[in-house]
Amino acid sequence: MDTTYFRGSAVKRYFRETGEVWLFARRFFREAVRRPFEWKELLNQCFIVGNQSLFLVAMTGLIMGLVLTLQTRPTMEDFGAEAYMPAMVGVSIIREIGPVIIALICAGKIGSSIGAELGSMKVTEQIAAMEVSGTNPFKYLVVTRILATTLMVPLLVIFGDTIALFGSFLVEHAKGEVSFRLFFNKVFHQLSFGDLIPATAKTFFFGFAIGLIGCYKGYTSKKGTAGVGRAANTAVVVASMLLFVLDFIAVLVADIFFDL
Amino acid sequence: MEPLIHIENLHKSFGDLNVLNGFSLDLFGEENLVIVGRSGSGKSVLLKCIVRLLIPDSGVLEVLGEPVPELNQYEMDQLRTEVGFLFQGSALYDSMTVRENLEFPLRRHPEKMKGHDVETLIVNTLKSVGLAHTLEMMPEELSGGMQRRIALARTLILRPRVILYDEPTSGLDPITAKEIIELMLQIQKEYHTASLIITHDMDCARVISNRMIILIDGTNYAQGTYAELSKSTDPRVQAFFK
Ligand SMILES: Nc1ncnc2c1ncn2[C@@H]1O[C@H](COP(=O)(O)OP(=O)(O)OP(=O)(O)O)[C@@H](O)[C@H]1O
Ligand SMILES: [Mg+2]
């Protein structure tokens, strides 16, 4: 079977879609600074994004902290280094595992719901209805959602990190009888600005990517209910992949500027 | 008299599919022009070109004297407030209450309020469609016929001069359909709008039309009043009246 055609069309589709996402992002920046702003809807979306994932992020964070500590502790004990546990867990959660895992959870929860919501608005012509009443659906639907995820994902990551550290503390407290004060002292003693700044900065990009891909997939979704399902599904897949790419870039950049 | 909508030799195709093939029409003030055509003949495409949800490939397309394809975004949005559009599936914003549905276009075009306050306008418009009591309901709580009425109220709230109806009676039972048709006539008397109505419901066409165009092969195959067309001997025209 001749597969060159399929490969050719898949590659072409990939580049075309990348180009379209790029244009979509450019439109976001252009419309985001143009008056009038949809403040009320922005607040509403921030609330929805936060409220939607709060419980999930808390659960994930707690389990992440518990598991990470339970699993590394025996090895550290072998080396007689259990005193370093809080420092090690703190650095790995705050610098890498927390942001990535929690952003992935958000991509699953928020990305899919944005994709499905805008997708169904698209196929039921609600977006067209906004357009023909002389209003700007891009501004009302897309700009507010991307801003909301960009602002809220970092907050969710900070929240999740905190819960994860608390989970880790629970294990340390049970196994090593470390006090709350001592545990968090050790965690923060080890952390420098070089850890905190890039770790927080990249979460804004994660949030932006989740909102951007969710909105793009929903806003451009194809006709029919199958289109809605696909919009939600591909939003999660593409956003998750993009998170890893962004994380890789963030680590490279941090490496250059903060001299890890 | 200047037509409100003037279309001449309009072409629109999707790939190899020629949907509109030199279609022309003129819509004059306070008239009801009905376009009939089979499913898939390009009726919705025509309406979408008029409000620039689609861009025609060639031809003249003027709404209220403005050349639609050439307007910039701001001019287009202003023009769109003068042209109401009733979607085939109502297209109510399903995350908003009825009140918010009506408020949505109004808040973004405060110049359209002409000194009235939002509340009065919303309540009055809802009264015109006979659904004042649904103010705080969600679209999913309404029947199909009620949704169609609310969608009509949402277009009316900007006081458009022209209303484009895309199959206003589709998906409704005959009695509800008749109510919608009566409502359309009443709205026209009350608001002095011109209407371009797309349908394949011949009862609707008979009651409401001043003039009809039959859309076949992307062109205006035949036109005239309902009475004239119903007497036509052309089998392709006759097929609609059986
Ligand atoms: N955006 C689009 N892209 C590609 N093809 C389209 C698009 N919109 C419409 N078409 C095609 O144009 C043709 C006419 O579609 P249209 O929706 O205007 O039909 P219609 O006359 O409104 O039919 P119905 O009575 O079923 O609503 C169809 O064959 C449809 O597949
Ligand atoms: Mg149609």
Q: Dump pLDDT digits (tens) for A20-31.
A: 999 999 999 999
DSSP letter at A35 equals S
Q: Which ligand 1 atom lies nearest to the CA of residue B200?
A: 25
d(CA B212, CA B209): 6
Q: Is residue A5 in a domain? A: no
pLDDT per position as a tens digit, A53-92:
999 999 999 999 999 999 999 999 899 888 899 999 999 9
Ligand 2 centroid – CA B200 distance (Å): 10
Residues, chain B: 242
Number of domain units in chain A: 1
pLDDT per position as a tens digit, B60-114:
999 999 999 999 999 999 999 999 999 989 999 999 999 999 999 999 998 888 7
Helix (H, G, I), strand (E, B) or coil at B32: strand
Ligand 1 mutation pick, B43, B216, B219, max ligand atoms within 8 A of CB: B43
pLDDT of residue B9: 95
CB–CB of A134 and B51 under 8 A?
Answer: no
B158 interaction partners in chain A (CB closer than 8 Å): 133-134
d(CA A177, CA A100): 30
Checking if the pLDDT of A239 tops 90, the result is yes
pTM of the model: 0.91
The domain of A49 spans 38-258
Q: Which two tokens stand for residue A62?
A: 């707690």
**E strand or H helix at B60, and its extent?**
strand B58-63
Chain mean pLDDT for chain B: 93
Ligand 1 mutation pick, B11, B12, B13, B14, max ligand atoms within 8 A of CB: B14
d(CA A178, CA B207): 85
Q: Tell me the pairing of strands B17-27 and B5-14.
A: antiparallel
CB–CB of B87 and A129 under 8 A?
Answer: yes
Chain mean pLDDT for chain A: 92
Q: Is residue A46 in a domain? A: yes
Tell which residue, B9, B21, B23, has the closest CA to residue B59.
Answer: B9
Q: Is residue A253 in a domain? A: yes
Backbone angles phi, psi at B196, to 5 degrees: -115, 115
Q: Which residues of A touch B (CB under 8 A)?
A: 117, 121, 124-126, 128-136
Domains in chain B with CATH codes: 29-54+72-241 (3.40.50.300)
Q: Which residues make up the environment of ion ligand 2, defined by Cβ < 5 Å? A: B 44
Q: Is residue A231 in a domain? A: yes
pLDDT of residue B138: 97
Q: Is residue A176 in a domain? A: yes
Q: Is residue A17 in a domain? A: no
Helix (H, G, I), strand (E, B) or coil at A133: coil
pLDDT per position as a tens digit, B104-152:
999 999 888 877 889 999 999 999 999 999 999 999 999 999 999 999 9
d(CA A61, CA A163): 5
Q: Is residue A7 in a domain? A: no
CB–CB of B80 and A133 under 8 A?
Answer: yes
- Asked if B11 contacts B57 with a C-beta cutoff of 8 angstroms, the reply is yes
pLDDT of residue A5: 53
- Asked if A222 contacts A124 with a C-beta cutoff of 8 angstroms, the reply is no
Q: Is residue A75 in a domain? A: yes
